């Protein structure tokens, strides 16, 4: 007789274990052992066992949602910039005038770790209430060693204190801090020679990210950051082609990046390079919407090339104050032409792939983490259909309902 810790029954499952459909199992059962899925299939085929059986009482179970791109740790807020943008000011102009990312840096440097933890917890609770069980959290509002370290320590604490799987990224190459004005290469020296080595040594960064853009860093500067990351065995990813085309995604592909993110201005050649490199395209509809962007990311081309497309909240105080990943699924469908199936793939298997967790998260499959959500819906497509509402009935991380 197999030994399970808990067996869940009473739901249909969208396992997302297939690349081409929901991987549906009607009237399914999931057996959990040591936080992992030990058995999954139709309840009628469940082997005899002695474990506690929990009936979830109907609805659909999907893998827990993976939010693979967030900046949830930050000080202050930028609602005044939001008001300025509504009056016609633009994101790049605000950034060039000393607002934008750099203004959040001032507030993040001032904030204590405890203040950062409390405010980030509230945001994370919001995302979790809407189905997130796995999240990536970036630094990038410190831009000095002490504050980048403070941010990633806070991120690690979030992962320890809340029931969520959490991955961190060092985003020291996010913007040029005030004290380095006119000396961007000297700041990149600091990132490569001090910040990345120190965070890597402390085990605080799982990956290294950057912002390749006119208002941030050039391809050549980001390449130096990538070399430093690889020297410390850290995988890379990039914010690229958000406001213009600099070719950052081509660089990301050359460095076998986990993902290249935003991509409104992605060139065809770079899309082809991403496909060859296996780099995930992370689509961020919240930033597109909040910045009133009109250039659409080349979704049809990415689809044709077979580039896995993830969807994330990009939760941050400037371009995307987003606390619902389901709302991003809806926007990806309505604004970018995703199908509801692609949207769910984007926040499960492809989101996990973008974090290097494609072999352990984002699918309901034997051996994978028993992270799942039971939704109060009749069809999986409802996950990108409803805007708002409370669809989560139960949420389990490592097999425990939380
Ligand atoms: O992903 N593009 C760069 N970074 C963030 C925005 C950060 C901010 O405005 O504070 C983004 O959109
Ligand atoms: Fe971002």
Instruction: Tell the residue number behind the tokens 């390449």, with chain if given.
Output: 223
SS3 category, 52: strand
Which pLDDT score is estimated for 97?
A: 85
Encoding tokens for residue 58? 């109907």
From the CA of 40, how far away is ligand 2's center (Å)? 35
Q: What's the rounded Cα separation, in Å, for the pair 7 and 54?
A: 6
Are 322 and 384 contained in the same domain? Answer: no
Are 31 and 90 contained in the same domain? Answer: no
From the CA of 191, how far away is ligand 1's center (Å)? 18
- Please, are residues 305 and 275 in contact by the beta-carbon 8 Å criterion? yes
Residue 335 lies in a domain: yes
From the CA of 393, how far away is ligand 1's center (Å)? 32
User: Pocket residues for ligand 1 (CB within 6 Å)?
Assistant: 71, 100-101, 104, 211, 239, 242, 287, 314, 316-320
Which pLDDT score is estimated for 96?
A: 86
Concatenated DSSP letters for 162-221? SSSEEEEEEEEETS--GGGTT-HHHHHHHIIIIIHHHHHHTT--SEEEEEESTTSB-HHH
From the CA of 10, how far away is ligand 2's center (Å)? 38
Which pLDDT score is estimated for 347?
A: 99
- Report the run of H or E that residue 39 belongs to, with start and end: strand 36-42
Nearest CA, atom 6, ligand 1: 319
SS3 category, 298: coil
Q: Within its chain, how far is the Cα of 335 from the centroid?
A: 19
Residue 40 sits in a domain whose CATH number is 2.30.40.10
Which pLDDT score is estimated for 98?
A: 83
Residue 167 lies in a domain: yes
State the DSSP code for 56.
-
Are 129 and 46 contained in the same domain? Answer: no
CA distances from 97 to 91, 360, 369 (A): 10, 44, 46
State the DSSP code for 296.
P
Are 323 and 373 contained in the same domain? Answer: no
Which pLDDT score is estimated for 171?
A: 98
CA distances from 399 to 3, 6, 346 (A): 14, 8, 22
Instruction: Tell the residue number behind the tokens 């860093």, with chain if given.
Output: 217
Atom of ligand 1 nearest to the CA of 78: 10
Are 183 and 212 contained in the same domain? Answer: yes
Encoding tokens for residue 183? 């000396």
Which of 216, 248, 319, 354 is the pocket-test mutation for ligand 1 (most atoms within 8 Å of CB)?
Answer: 319
From the CA of 363, how far away is ligand 2's center (Å)? 25
Are 340 and 303 contained in the same domain? Answer: yes
Are 25 and 152 contained in the same domain? Answer: no
Nearest CA, atom 9, ligand 1: 318
Mark the ranges of the chain whose per-residue pLDDT is less than 70.
none
Which pLDDT score is estimated for 1?
A: 86
Residue 1 lies in a domain: no
Which stretches of 2-56 are DSSP H helices?
A: none
From the CA of 70, how far away is ligand 1's center (Å)? 9
State the DSSP code for 36.
E
From the CA of 196, how far away is ligand 2's center (Å)? 19
Closest to 353 (Cα-Cα) out of 196, 167, 226, 200: 167
Which of 260, 263, 316, 317 is the pocket-test mutation for ligand 1 (most atoms within 8 Å of CB)?
Answer: 316
CA distances from 111 to 118, 139, 154, 199 (A): 11, 14, 12, 20
Which pLDDT score is estimated for 308?
A: 98
State the DSSP code for 131.
T
Q: What's the rounded Cα separation, in Å, for the pair 197 and 204?
A: 10
Are 128 and 251 contained in the same domain? Answer: yes
Q: What's the rounded Cα separation, in Å, for the pair 208 and 154?
A: 17
**Nearest ligand, measured from the Cα of 242:** 1
- Report the run of H or E that residue 54 belongs to, with start and end: strand 52-55
Encoding tokens for residue 260? 């290249």
Nearest CA, atom 8, ligand 1: 318
- Domain membership of residue 26 as a residue range: 6-63+363-401
Which pLDDT score is estimated for 240?
A: 98
Residues surrounding ion ligand 2 at CB below 5 Å? 314
Residue 91 lies in a domain: yes
Which of 69, 70, 71, 143 is the pocket-test mutation for ligand 1 (most atoms within 8 Å of CB)?
Answer: 71
What is the tens place of the pLDDT at every residue in 90-108? 998 998 888 899 999 999 9
Domain count, the chain: 2
Encoding tokens for residue 99? 């607002």
- Please, are residues 289 and 264 in contact by the beta-carbon 8 Å criterion? no
Which pLDDT score is estimated for 184?
A: 98
Instruction: Tell the residue number behind the tokens 């474990």, with chain if given.
Output: 51
From the CA of 239, how far away is ligand 2's center (Å)? 6
- Tell me the whole-structure pTM to 2 decimals: 0.98
Residue 122 lies in a domain: yes
Q: What's the rounded Cα separation, in Å, for the pair 194 and 188?
A: 10
What is the tens place of the pLDDT at every residue in 296-343? 999 999 999 999 999 999 999 999 999 999 999 999 999 999 999 999
């Amino acid at each position: 007789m197999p030994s399970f810790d808990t067996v869940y029954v009473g739901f249909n499952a969208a396992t997302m274990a297939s690349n081409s459909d929901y991987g549906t199992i009607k009237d399914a059962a999931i057996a959990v052992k040591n936080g992992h899925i030990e058995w999954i299939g139709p309840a009628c085929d469940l082997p005899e066992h002695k474990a506690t059986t929990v009936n979830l009482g109907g609805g659909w179970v999907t893998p827990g949602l993976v939010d693979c791109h967030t900046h949830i740790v930050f000080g202050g807020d930028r609602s005044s910039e939001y008001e300025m943008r509504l009056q016609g000011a633009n994101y790049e102009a605000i950034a060039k005038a000393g607002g934008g990312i750099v203004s959040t840096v001032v507030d993040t440097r001032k904030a204590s770790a405890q203040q950062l933890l409390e405010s980030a917890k509230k945001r994370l609770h919001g995302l979790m209430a809407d189905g997130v069980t796995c999240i990536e959290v970036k630094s990038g509002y410190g831009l000095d060693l002490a504050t980048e370290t403070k941010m990633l320590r806070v991120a690690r604490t979030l992962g320890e204190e809340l029931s969520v799987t959490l991955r961190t990224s060092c985003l020291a190459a996010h913007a040029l801090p005030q004290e380095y004005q006119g000396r961007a290469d000297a700041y990149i020296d600091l990132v490569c020679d001090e910040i990345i080595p120190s965070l890597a040594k402390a085990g605080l960064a799982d990956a290294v990210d950057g912002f390749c853009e006119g208002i941030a860093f050039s391809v050549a500067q980001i390449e130096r950051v990538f070399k430093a990351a690889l020297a410390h065995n850290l995988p890379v990813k990039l914010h690229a082609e958000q406001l213009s085309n600099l070719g950052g995604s081509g660089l990301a592909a050359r460095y076998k990046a986990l993902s290249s993110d935003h991509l409104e201005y992605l060139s065809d050649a770079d899309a082809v390079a991403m496909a060859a490199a296996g780099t995930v395209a992370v689509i961020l509809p919240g930033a597109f919407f909040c910045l009133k962007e009109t250039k659409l990311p080349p979704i049809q081309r990415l689809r044709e090339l077979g580039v896995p497309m993830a969807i994330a909240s990009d939760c941050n105080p400037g371009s995307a104050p987003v606390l619902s990943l389901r709302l991003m699924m809806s926007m990806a469908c309505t604004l970018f032409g995703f199908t509801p199936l692609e949207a769910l793939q984007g926040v499960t298997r492809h989101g996990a792939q973008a974090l290097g967790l494609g072999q352990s998260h984002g699918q309901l499959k034997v051996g994978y983490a028993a992270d799942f959500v039971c939704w109060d819906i009749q069809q999986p497509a409802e996950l990108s259909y409803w805007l708002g509402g409370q669809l989560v009935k139960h949420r389990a991380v490592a097999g425990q309902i939380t």
